[in-house]
Amino acid sequence: MIINRRILTLDEFTIQQLRQFPTATGELSSLLRDIGLAAKRINVEVNKAGLVDILGDAGSVNVQGEDVKKLDIYANNQFMGVLKHGISCAGVGSEELDDVVVFDDEVSNNSKYVVLFDPLDGSSNIDVNISIGTIFGVYRRVSELGKPCTEEDFLQPGVRQVAAGYVVYGSSTMLVYATRRGVNGFTLDPAIGEFCLSHPDIKCPPSGKLYSVNHGNFFQYEEGLRNYINACQRKDKTNGGPYTQRYVGSMVADVHRNLIKGGIFMYPGTIDKPGGKLRLMYECNPFSFMVEVAGGKATDGKQRILDIQPTELHQRTPLFIGSKHMMEELETYYKP
């Protein structure tokens, strides 16, 4: 008898995971479904960004000092909305908001989690139709349940994330998330409007041949890093190089490709920006959690990203992330 492989939707998958832990409250499963709902709504607008007047600068400038595009605001509001009106989240921190938002209502104050997110990363690529994405990380609160969450709930090291994920709005729209049990990818089926399990138990290949870095900053990188980047381009590579350089300029697209195919993504510090460009709390920590669960590594050049004790919501960090063996090879050239 041929049994059709049953397609599992995100909702079915999270409920199946919940059934394996009867004592679980279901709050995390519910939160992940809420994020999936927001992603579907954002996907609709991203897919028609060139057709309606949602494109273009909203005129305001966000806390990063960047022109905010209307889609950024829309995406931020979608995540705020589903999380505030769900049953699992006490408050959020967003790239688009100067400070954390404490929901401070009875249900939210009794919710176990807080969420940090970049609602639409790489939004400068919207106008040229390059893949963009959403990035999120979920933490269990450390403050007292029943009361409003506090900034301390958000400034936790990335190792304390209970879940992290991203949505890539690309040739297809995928939601990928990790818990400590594994990394799973879901592709949106527009016919039924559901994310369906398409990439179960994602593992980051231990080796790869893709390296991602902005070569335009090459002469601002430290010598050891320049030596590694040069080695990536030489035929004498021990693994039969040279490697292939792939850099989209959209972190979600670059790291997603390297997670699936194997590779290394680097956003180093430069002379002008020694702290790097990428944000620790809602860009680097979520991806570092996911890549480590998938078997890869992530550092700031000196230490594990997930061990960094944050001091500010929007602090930046250099980032080196990807296949385990490639990260170890980098470390033989570059020890800042």
Q: Which residues of this chain interact with ligand P6P, rule CB under 6 A?
A: 121-122, 124, 214, 249-251, 254, 277
33 vs 316, which CB is nearer to ligand P6P? 316
141 vs 277, which CB is nearer to ligand P6P? 277
Q: Are 206 and 173 in contact (CB under 8 A)?
A: no
Q: Which amino acid is at 85?
A: H
Q: Which amino acid is at 199?
A: H
> Coil, helix or strand for 180?
coil
Q: Are 64 and 314 in contact (CB under 8 A)?
A: yes
Q: Phi/psi at 298 (nearest 5 deg)?
A: -150, 125
Q: Which amino acid is at 82?
A: V
Show Cβ contacts of residue 332 under 8 Å, excluding neighbours closer than 6 positions: none
Report in angstroms how near the CB of residue 185 gets to ligand P6P at its nearest: 19
What count of residues does the chain have?
336
124 vs 198, which CB is nearer to ligand P6P? 124
28 vs 255, which CB is nearer to ligand P6P? 255
Report in angstroms how near the CB of residue 59 gets to ligand P6P at its nearest: 19
Helix axes 27-47, 70-84, angle to 10 degrees: 160
Report in angstroms how near the CB of residue 255 gets to ligand P6P at its nearest: 8
Q: Are 113 and 88 in contact (CB under 8 A)?
A: yes
Report in angstroms how near the CB of residue 262 gets to ligand P6P at its nearest: 18
Report in angstroms how near the CB of residue 250 gets to ligand P6P at its nearest: 5
Helix axes 251-261, 285-293, angle to 10 degrees: 10
89 vs 204, which CB is nearer to ligand P6P? 204
Q: Are 230 and 221 in contact (CB under 8 A)?
A: no
Q: Are 290 and 173 in contact (CB under 8 A)?
A: no
Place of tokens 């057709």: 51
The DSSP 8-state label assigned to residue 242 in this structure reads: -
Q: Are 129 and 171 in contact (CB under 8 A)?
A: no
Report in angstroms how near the CB of residue 279 gets to ligand P6P at its nearest: 8
249 vs 274, which CB is nearer to ligand P6P? 249
Q: Phi/psi at 161 (nearest 5 deg)?
A: -65, 140
8 vs 168, which CB is nearer to ligand P6P? 168
153 vs 254, which CB is nearer to ligand P6P? 254
Is the preceding omega at residue 242 within 30 degrees of 0, hence cis? yes
Report in angstroms how near the CB of residue 128 gets to ligand P6P at its nearest: 13
28 vs 248, which CB is nearer to ligand P6P? 248
Q: Which amino acid is at 165?
A: G
Q: Residue 102 burial (CB < 10 Å; 0-12/13-18/19+)?
A: buried
Report in angstroms how near the CB of residue 133 gets to ligand P6P at its nearest: 8
